[in-house]
Amino acid sequence: MKIAVCIKRVPDMETRFKIAASGTAVDESGLKYDMSDFDGYAVETALQLNEKQGPGETVVISLGPDVVQEQLRKALSMGADRAVQLKADKVPADGLAIARALAAELQGGGYDLILFGRQAVDSANATVGPMTAELLGLPCATAVSTLEIANGRATARRDLEGAAEIVEFPLPAVVSVDEGMPRARYPSLKGIMAAKKKPLEVKPAQLGAEHIAIEKMELPPERAAGRIVGEGTAAVPELVRLLHTEAKVL
Amino acid sequence: MANVFAFAESRGGALRRVAFEAVSAARALADASGGGEVHALLAGAPGIASLAPELGKYGADVVIVVEHPGLANANAEALAATAAERIRAGGYRAAIFSASAQGRDLAPRVAAKLGVSMAADVTSFELAGDALVVRHPAYAGKVIATLRLTGSPAIVTLRPGARAAVEAPRAARVENAQPASDPAASKVVVKEMIAGGGAKLDIGDAPVIVSGGRGLKSADNFRLVEDLAAAFGNAAVGATRAVTDDGWRPHSDQIGQTGRQVSPELYVACGISGAIQHIAGMRNSRTIVAINKDKEAPIFKVADYGIVGDVIEILPVLTAAVKEARAKG
Amino acid sequence: MQDFFDIDSALSEEERAVRASVRQFVDERIIPVIGDCYIEGRFPKEIIPGLAELGVFGANLPEEYGCAGLNNVSYGLIMQELERGDSGIRSFASVQGALVMYPIFTFGSEEQKKHYLPKMAAGEIIGCFGLTEPDYGSNPSGMITMAKEQADGSWVLNGAKMWITNGSQAKVAIVWAKTNGDKSDKSIRGFIVPTDTPGFTAKDQKGKLSLRASDTSELVFQDVHLPKDAILPKSGGIKSPLMCLTQARYGISWGVIGAAMACYEESLAYSTSRVMFDKPIGGFQLQQQRLAIMLTEIVKAQLVSLHLGRLKDAGKLTPQQVSLAKRNNCDMATDIAREARRLLGANGILAEYASMRHMANLESVYTYEGTHDIHTLILGQAVTGLSAFN
């Protein structure tokens, strides 16, 4: 199958973030970057589908400045065949602009399947995948936790609150992947070397107008310090008392 | 004065709480912009019209009822087409959806169809001139972004539970409408609905969540967590990524950066060490209790109350104490 | 660990990618099991296929022999990440790559290279390196293992080797022996010895308190018959095994940095959460001094090894430079591990914390591949021109 996977470069979420002097962005100094978690699952899904179903092509696409080539090369070292950077000075806050640029690249590409992560772990909007599907006029299933493909049709599970749906749809289609999909393999060392020889194309991103601007980024208020109530089962009565009288949740 | 559109989410022929949250938010926005009308879209299988008065209770002036057998299960294509057509025709200032699983699936399609931008998973919003200014938790909840959305209509998904549904009764008048696309022609078809395995209450809705981690030592010991949840009466059971990875609990129970983000009244973390990844999912809980045998476990840094000890010994005792406290009233 | 000196900016994207892959492997496959393996005294053989698939064995040897073809800085980073897990794991990889695959690559015939290297890279053939003997450790030139050439060109090998990593699980042993009764070290040649050859026995040495998650064996050769193609044709003199040691020592200078990093990270995390006298112990001067010294020594060692790697890639590396790095880095790592153990207080003696395991392991690393003292004399001789060896 010809599969496209759209990936995003994000900072390591284990970081204790600081706000930049501008007040409208996170301070980037010293940050480590990687592919967004769910995007990694999407690349892995594509690779496994093509490994299982015979020869195919996995193309990875990322929008942003030249540094995103690092994440594209990681996908290539995992086993993707070729990469495309849609070059933009920065990743817009407006998902529709990103979707427009991706749709322009994906249109006419003859893809059987276009994969996204459910959401980028930094911006956490979950909009670009389904918007891109809509702009391409393709069927779309979001936040799938299982995906099976046979004879040009897909079956997927989507978890809802307190329930789940099993959906079926024809290819070509757009799918965004969630927990439950396979974790990203770590690139083998040979894969890292091989990635250097795989094609990585740079094209300008056709973003169009943007209608969302970041006005401010701030840290949430710190939680007040808590306390250890006691040790072992002996502490239970005191905990229950506090939950009743102080926290008033019991 | 501007009208505001709200999407009233339903499932299995009943309105979900997030539907009232959306209508209520639309009501507040309409009032803030000079007192326009709130129009709520209620779509489902034939008979769904009977739910319209409930939407009126939360401030809907008009309930657009779309009934069709093909809408018994969620049908994103037909719903998106219907919502987009209505929004386009109605000249609304804003359109409010929930950032529920269904809302997150639906709203982006509507926005793309209309060629307008949307703000996702917002915890608050306010009009500022011709813009809508919203707040949205980002970076695993560690940063709050304030975003300015221009263009009309402003499409927004509201984080479930971020704004309580407030009653503001209106005499909702019903307008019947047809789906804008044939639901039977939708390419993505729901073949089967599976009710939540065992869990009566979803972790997104529950006021209390009792969550378990590796400290429980085995999948079987999760029954101690379930017992405590049952003792609270209104609690759901959550899990860490470590135990869902090991298959002790389903992925849909996972709370954390790549799982569900929850903000219950009370979160009880049992045998959970408090990896940053997990804390990202529950740090906004109003009260946090932690039980862990390691006094240095990071979970105690975010907990309001902690007990240091063996979770396997403590849970049964806590369960009994909670039952007793609740029985006393 | 925070990149305090922005050393990452001196690494290429490829080098950082290599480090990230191995780190992830170690985090997911080694760290969860290594504490138990150490206590049980067993090497986790089950990770060998995973290590092979990752491409760790002989990673700096050419792609044409099935290896990853990485540069030497990447090779060093691999060793660093493996030893962040455990010195025993890194020892396994050092032996396989630098002491088995390297001599075959450097001193072997084309047939030997084609036959062994791809299978060794794939982890299908595990090897060991037989140089050290019960009575000849620091002075390998004194070895008594002897190979006698027969009329038909085959050899008969007799002797014993000791402290051989991977010995009991190896399919081949690269054995260094003097030849034909000549007791001078000029007669030393290398032999590829299949371990199932009659007369070859390997027995694990028991009772180790260090490198417990590693197989350390005695090898005994009693009239072991070897075909004439068992010899490594280009080997000759003590210089040959010493060249292999230089390779391994280079990797070790990086490896111990990994162990030091693991101990530092553990101490730092502990010091900011362990509360005593109403504040985290990391707020007390003596603990801050420990942490400051650890950080400084790690940064210095990283820069030493990084520059050494660049020299090696430029073909300019000298064995004495490697001695400086191995000696300094092992010394600093053993100190860091011990200080980390002390910072952890009583908890520091539990296997649940890594520092004491690293501390015990690093005593072996301080001693093997040229003891600290031997490297001291190598440097002394290099700068004075005077030998203090005897």
C270 CB neighbours in chain B (<8 A) are 296
- Same domain? For C140 and C192 the reply is yes
On whether any CB of chain A is under 8 Å from the CB of B142, the answer is: yes
Could you tell me if B225 and B270 are in contact, meaning their C-beta atoms sit under 8 angstroms apart? yes
- Same domain? For C171 and C210 the reply is yes
Cα separation, C321 vs B216, in Å, equals 52
ipTM, two decimals, is: 0.94
pLDDT of A86: 98
**A53: which strand partners?**
none
- CA B157: distance to chain centroid? 10
Residue A83, in any domain of the structure: yes
Would you say the pTM of this structure is higher than 0.90?
no
- What torsion, rounded to 10 degrees, do the Cα atoms B255, B256, B257, B261 define? 50
Residues 113-172 of A with CB under 8 A from B: 121-135, 139-143, 145, 155, 158-170
Residue A245, in any domain of the structure: no
Q: Which of C230, C250, C271 is the last residue of a domain?
A: C230
Q: Which of C270, C273, C344, C353 to mutate to test the interface with B (most CBs of B within 10 A)?
A: C273
User: Quick one: closest CA in A to B153, which residue?
Assistant: A211
Residue A170, in any domain of the structure: yes
Residue A222, in any domain of the structure: no
Distance from CA of C121 to the nearest CA of A (A): 11
Residue C93, in any domain of the structure: yes
Total tally of structural domains belonging to chain A = 1
Q: What average pLDDT does the segment A170-196 reach?
A: 95
Give the confidence band of A17 by pLDDT, cuts at 50, 70, 90: very high
Q: Which of B187, B262, B328 to mutate to test the interface with A (most CBs of A within 10 A)?
A: B187
Q: How many C-beta atoms surround the C-beta of residue B218 within 10 A? A: 11
Residue A81, in any domain of the structure: yes
CB contact under 8 A, B301 and C273: yes
Q: Give B65's contacts (C-beta < 8 A, 6+ positions apart).
A: B42, B43, B48, B49, B52, B174, B175, B176, B177
- pLDDT of C388 strictly over 80: yes
Q: Give C95's contacts (C-beta < 8 A, 6+ positions apart).
A: C127, C128, C129, C165, C166, C248
**C173: which strand partners?**
C128, C193
The CATH code of the domain that includes A189 is 3.40.50.620
- pLDDT of A18 strictly over 60: yes
Q: How many helices (H) and strands (E) would you count in chain B?
A: 9, 18
- Same domain? For C354 and C220 the reply is no
- pLDDT of A213 strictly over 90: yes
Residues 73-92 of A with CB under 8 A from B: none
Instruction: Report the SS3 class of residue B20.
Output: helix
Residue C1, in any domain of the structure: no
Could you tell me if B70 and B182 are in contact, meaning their C-beta atoms sit under 8 angstroms apart? yes
CB contact under 8 A, C13 and A73: yes
The CATH code of the domain that includes C164 is 2.40.110.10
Q: Which of A70, A189, A196 sits opposite C18 (nearest CB)?
A: A189
pLDDT tens, residue by residue, A29-59: 889 999 999 999 999 999 999 999 888 999 9
- Same domain? For C264 and C197 the reply is no
- Same domain? For C110 and C144 the reply is no
pLDDT of B197: 52
Residue C278, in any domain of the structure: yes
User: Quick one: closest CA in B to C280, which residue?
Assistant: B296
Strands A163-170 and A153-160: antiparallel
What tokens were used for C271? 């010091």
- CA C22: distance to chain centroid? 16
What tokens were used for B201? 């209450």
On whether any CB of chain B is under 8 Å from the CB of C75, the answer is: no
Distance from CA of A174 to the nearest CA of B (A): 11
| Amino acid sitting at position B122 | V
pLDDT of B200: 60
Distance from CA of A89 to the nearest CA of B (A): 19
- Find the range with the poorest average confidence among A211-225, B102-116, B197-211, C171-185: B197-211
B112 CB neighbours in chain A (<8 A) are 96, 99, 130-132, 134-135
pLDDT of B329: 64
On whether any CB of chain B is under 8 Å from the CB of A94, the answer is: yes
- Same domain? For C50 and C137 the reply is no
Residue A216, in any domain of the structure: no
- Same domain? For C26 and C152 the reply is no
Cα–Cα distances in angstroms (integers) from residue B127 to residues A93, B95, B148, in the given order: 19, 13, 10
pLDDT tens, residue by residue, C301-322: 999 999 999 999 999 999 999 9
Distance from CA of A165 to the nearest CA of C (A): 32
Helix, strand, coil percentages (3-state) for chain A, rounded to 5, are 30, 35, 40
Question: Does C369 qualify as catalytic in the annotation?
Answer: yes
CB contact under 8 A, A94 and B117: yes
Residue C74, in any domain of the structure: yes
Cα separation, A220 vs B279, in Å, equals 14
What tokens were used for B46? 């034939």
User: What average pLDDT does chain C have?
Assistant: 96
Residue A130, in any domain of the structure: yes
Q: Which of B148, B150, B189 sits opposite A169 (nearest CB)?
A: B189
Length reported for chain C: 390
C274 CB neighbours in chain B (<8 A) are 296
Residue C196, in any domain of the structure: yes
Strands C189-194 and C172-179: antiparallel
- Same domain? For C174 and C285 the reply is no
Cα separation, B303 vs A212, in Å, equals 36
Q: How many C-beta atoms surround the C-beta of residue A107 within 10 A? A: 11
pLDDT tens string, chain B, 329 residues long: the values are 789 999 999 998 999 999 999 999 999 999 998 889 999 999 999 999 999 999 999 999 999 999 999 999 989 999 999 999 999 999 999 999 999 999 999 999 999 999 999 999 999 999 998 999 999 999 988 899 999 999 999 999 999 988 889 999 999 999 999 999 999 999 999 999 987 654 467 888 889 999 999 999 999 999 999 999 999 988 999 999 999 988 999 888 999 988 888 989 999 999 999 988 899 899 889 999 999 999 888 899 899 999 999 999 999 999 999 999 888 76
Total tally of structural domains belonging to chain C = 3
Give the confidence band of C108 by pLDDT, cuts at 50, 70, 90: very high
- pLDDT of A62 strictly over 70: yes
Cα–Cα distances in angstroms (integers) from residue B41 to residues B15, B24, B117, in the given order: 12, 13, 20
Distance from CA of B301 to the nearest CA of C (A): 9
Distance from CA of B308 to the nearest CA of C (A): 14
Cα separation, A99 vs A105, in Å, equals 10
Angle at C284 between CA C278 and CA C290, to 5 degrees: 140
Q: Which structural domain range is residue A137 located in? A: 2-204
pLDDT tens, residue by residue, A66-84: 999 999 999 999 999 999 9
Size of the B and C interface in Cβ pairs below 8 Å: 5
pLDDT of A30: 83
**A43: which strand partners?**
none
- Same domain? For C111 and C149 the reply is no
Q: Which structural domain range is residue C268 located in? A: 239-384
On whether any CB of chain C is under 8 Å from the CB of A188, the answer is: yes
pLDDT of A3: 98
Q: Which of C230, C258, C277 is the last residue of a domain?
A: C230
The CATH code of the domain that includes C304 is 1.20.140.10
User: Quick one: closest CA in A to C77, which residue?
Assistant: A189
- Same domain? For C48 and C78 the reply is yes
pLDDT of B198: 46
Phi/psi-derived region of residue C24, left when phi > 0, alpha when psi is between -120 and 50, beta in every other case = alpha
- Same domain? For C66 and C139 the reply is no
- Same domain? For C99 and C208 the reply is no
CB contact under 8 A, B190 and A162: no
Q: What are phi and psi of B303, to 5 degrees?
A: -75, 145
CB contact under 8 A, B298 and C270: no
Cα separation, B80 vs A139, in Å, equals 12
B301 CB neighbours in chain C (<8 A) are 273
Cα separation, C144 vs C178, in Å, equals 7
Residue A44, in any domain of the structure: yes
Length reported for chain B: 329
Residue C258, in any domain of the structure: yes
The CATH code of the domain that includes C23 is 1.10.540.10
Residue C52, in any domain of the structure: yes
Residue C2, in any domain of the structure: no
Q: Which of C96, C121, C146 is the last residue of a domain?
A: C121
Strands B94-98 and B62-67: unpaired
